Amino acid sequence: MACIYIVPIATESLFWLEPLTAGIFRSFGMRTKCAKVNIDISKAFDPLRQQYNSSYLLRELIAWPFAHADKVLGIAAVDLFIPILTFVFGEAQLEGPGAIVSMHRLNNKFYGMPENQSLLVQRIIKESIHELGHTFGLLHCSFPGCVLNASTYVEDIDQKSDKLCARCQQQLHIM
Amino acid sequence: MKPSDIGILIVDDEVSVRDALYKWFKFDGYRVDTAENATSALQKLQDNSWDIVLLDIKMPGMDGIELQRRIKQFDKSIITIIITAFASVDTSIQALKEGAFDYIVKPIDPDEMGHLIRNACEQRRLIYENIQLRQQLDEISFSEEIIGESPALKKVMDKVATVAQTDSTVMIRGESGTGKELIARAIHSNSNRRYFPIITINCGAYTEGLLESELFGHEKGAFTGALYRRRGKLEMADKGTVFLDEIGNIGHKMQMDLLRVIETREFTRLGGDRLINVDFRIICATNRDLEKAVRDGSFREDLYYRLNVFSITLPPLRERKSDIALIARFFIKKYAQAMNKNVTDLSPETLEVLSRYEWPGNVRELRNVIERAIVVAKGSYIDVSDLSFPFPPDIKNTEEDSLEAVEKSHIKKILERTGGNIAQAAHILKISRLTLYNKIEKYQLKK
């Protein structure tokens, strides 16, 4: 049976896995499996930027032979970038098989604030559903509360819900 | 504008940049394409319409600055955003000077990118709106109400088209109601000043002091009641046109002030000492015999020559009677629509009456006659009985009438005008009272 594979990258701590699994099921009605794979992240590292190339990691991720995988979602603990941008919260292939999300800038610690694990989990769920939405063909949504609304600041992520708006849900079913 | 209405072309030799930006804009719903070099970009500009072009400044072959030049030559309304790897001030300033909307330094902050594209889209929307408004203005540039196909009017419109393109001062002459203001507006709306205002000043409607204040404005406290500083109409017309109607009616002092402003294009507000520079074109109109006014000294000769650079004389309606049917039908359509009445045309008899009338009030009078007729008309045609003239025409004489019939009708009209006063009527008709009595007898014109 087809499912979404969740792949932790550069992290052993999986406190976010269970709520994320529930969130994905709520949004897409699909089961998830967690798979630990051995991706060499050092090849994605840019010493000048001290960040990891998101596109490289995504390519590595989708090249992995997962059985019956409908989509693959990488959850990375490291800071991700694409060459043209200073950073990305995540990256996805539009109507493609894979997406990747970075927890690095979703964590309050990055902004010099006290850690808040439940807020971090909420942000991981929102960004994961957002990026997975792209893999299902959804574009950014102009409705501010929709999880597919574009976010360039972590505050933007906090403003929106972890749900697809009615229009995005409808589009998802059409697709 | 929805994102899908905006086309973004990304020009960069680096595939990773092209792909990343392509994806970024695609996720936002924009129509996106990429080009790896200037040649490919120019081809894509030919093949499709693009609103925003993001281009790398350093590319093999033609660089971003040169490509931007080509894009602006092709369509200067396309918004260009320069992407540069180094914050090179010189290059960025050069790009901005040559019309770039903005520049961004790689790597770009995602938030900055979002703002930049939103601003560029807004700019594009404004440019688009501006183009549409200008097109609308161009479409209505020849006023709809200047109607007619007579050679006399065509000659006038040829003159309008000729003088509109220049910045010359124009003097419009013509009887009251011939449409002098419409012609002034037509000149303005076909000139290069058409996107700036045309300000009309009816010089005959103000006393000399008021006209001065209207034209030049005043400072606070310049005179009793000047509670605020007020800009004058000349100031309001900056870069546009000033239409001075009834110019023949201004007094000596105003003539002198106006002459100075026309010569220097500068003036001070009443009660002020700061010189104000303005750039305007003057169109003036009069129904007075200005040459006679110059001869008898009531109008300055130097001002006359300043104003009478290019003269357009509007023919009275009686000299272009072939236009009457067209004009009448235009007003029927206009007023029937406005009054929600089903009047569509004139009856043949009505048209004949209108064509034979002398129209002392010209087109304005015709307009009023039609407007009144539409109010009272019962059917879909305006009948002779629906017409009401301020100066009733003699509707019985036709070219086929005999000399006797014309004489009878004329005597009857004069008797009506004099209220039956034989002596006065005989004086007007330049016949003796006895002859008049005989004619009254002959034509049975006794009351």
A68 versus A111: the higher-pLDDT residue is A111
Residue B64 inside a domain? The answer is: yes
- B111-125, B292-306, B387-401: least confidently modelled range: B387-401
**Sequence ranges of the domains in chain A:** 3-174
Residue B94 inside a domain? The answer is: yes
Position B385 pLDDT exceeds 80: yes
What does the pLDDT average to over B406-415?
85
Rounded CA-CA distance B391/B357 in Å is 9
Please measure the distance between the N-terminal and C-terminal CA atoms of chain B and give it in whole angstroms: 78
Helix axes A117-135, A17-28, angle to 10 degrees: 40
Domain boundary among B114, B137, B160: B137
CATH number of the domain bearing residue B408: 1.10.10
Three-class secondary structure assignment of B264-278:
HCEEECECCCCEEEC
Domain count, chain B: 4
Q: Which one-letter DSSP state was computed for residue B396? A: S
What is the reported pTM?
0.55
B11 versus B390: the higher-pLDDT residue is B11
Domain boundary among B137, B170, B187: B137
Minimal CA separation from B92 to chain A, in Å: 18
Give the sheet arrangement for strand A45-46, strand by strand.
Answer: A45-46, A51-53, A80-81
What does the pLDDT average to over B194-204?
88
Tell me what pLDDT residue B138 has: 61
- Rounded to two decimals, the ipTM of the complex is 0.80
Q: How far apart, in Å, are the Cα atoms of A73 and each of A43, A76, A106?
A: 19, 10, 16
Do B246 and B129 sit in the same domain of this protein? no
Inspect the interface and report whether the beta carbons of A82 and B106 lie closer than 8 Å.
no
Rounded CA-CA distance B227/B16 in Å is 66
Residue B213 inside a domain? The answer is: yes
Position B89 pLDDT exceeds 80: no
What does the pLDDT average to over B15-43?
91
Nearest CB partner across the interface for B27, out of A87, A140, A153: A140
Do B348 and B300 sit in the same domain of this protein? no
CATH number of the domain bearing residue B47: 3.40.50.2300
In order, the DSSP letters of B34-93 are: EESSHHHHHHHHHHS--SEEEEES--SSS-HHHHHHHHHHH-TTSEEEEEESS--HHHHH
Residue B50 inside a domain? The answer is: yes
The class level of CATH for A3-174 reads alpha beta
Find the Cα–Cα–Cα–Cα dihedral B423, B424, B429, B431, rounded to 10°: 20
- Secondary structure (3-state) at B443: helix
Question: Residue A12 catalytic?
Answer: no
Do B305 and B166 sit in the same domain of this protein? yes
Residue B392 inside a domain? The answer is: no
Chain A contacts of B23, Cβ < 8 Å? Answer: 91, 94
Residue B396 inside a domain? The answer is: no
Chain A contacts of B29, Cβ < 8 Å? Answer: 139-140
Do B42 and B94 sit in the same domain of this protein? yes
What tokens were used for B323? 């236009």
Tell me what pLDDT residue B434 has: 87
Tell me the Ramachandran region of residue B343: left when phi exceeds 0, alpha when psi lies from -120 to 50, beta otherwise: beta
What does the pLDDT average to over A20-29?
95
Do B302 and B162 sit in the same domain of this protein? yes
Rounded CA-CA distance B233/A45 in Å is 69
What tokens were used for A24? 């994905």
Do B293 and B173 sit in the same domain of this protein? yes
Position B370 pLDDT exceeds 60: yes
Do B217 and B182 sit in the same domain of this protein? yes
Do B264 and B284 sit in the same domain of this protein? yes
Rounded CA-CA distance B388/B375 in Å is 11
The structure tokens 């930006």 sit at B21
Position B1 pLDDT exceeds 80: no
Chain B contacts of A153, Cβ < 8 Å? Answer: 111
Do B326 and B304 sit in the same domain of this protein? no
Nearest CB partner across the interface for A83, out of B26, B107, B111: B107
Quick one: pLDDT band at residue B410, thresholds 50, 70, 90? confident
Position B241 pLDDT exceeds 90: yes
CATH number of the domain bearing residue B281: 3.40.50.300
Do B41 and B90 sit in the same domain of this protein? yes
- Of A25, A7, A10, whose CA–CA distance to A65 is shortest? A7
Expressed as residue numbers, the domain containing B189 is 151-313
- Are B153 and B320 in contact by the 8 Å Cβ rule? The answer is yes
Minimal CA separation from A111 to chain B, in Å: 16
Position B396 pLDDT exceeds 60: no
| Each residue's pLDDT tens digit, B339-369 | 988 899 998 888 888 888 888 889 999 999 9
Rounded CA-CA distance B304/B294 in Å is 8
Do B73 and B168 sit in the same domain of this protein? no
The phi and psi torsions of B24 (rounded to 5 degrees) equal: -60, -50
- Of B409, B403, B429, B407, whose CA–CA distance to B418 is shortest? B429
Other CB atoms within 10 A of residue B251 CB: 15
Q: How far apart, in Å, are the Cα atoms of A151 and each of A154, A160, B2, B114?
A: 7, 9, 19, 10
Q: How far apart, in Å, are the Cα atoms of B372 and each of B364, B376, B393?
A: 12, 7, 16
Rounded CA-CA distance A31/A42 in Å is 31
| Mean pLDDT over the full length of chain B | 86
Position B119 pLDDT exceeds 80: yes
Inspect the interface and report whether the beta carbons of A134 and B107 lie closer than 8 Å.
no
Domain boundary among B105, B137, B169: B137
Chain A contacts of B107, Cβ < 8 Å? Answer: 49, 81, 83-86
Do B414 and B374 sit in the same domain of this protein? no
Residue B254 inside a domain? The answer is: yes
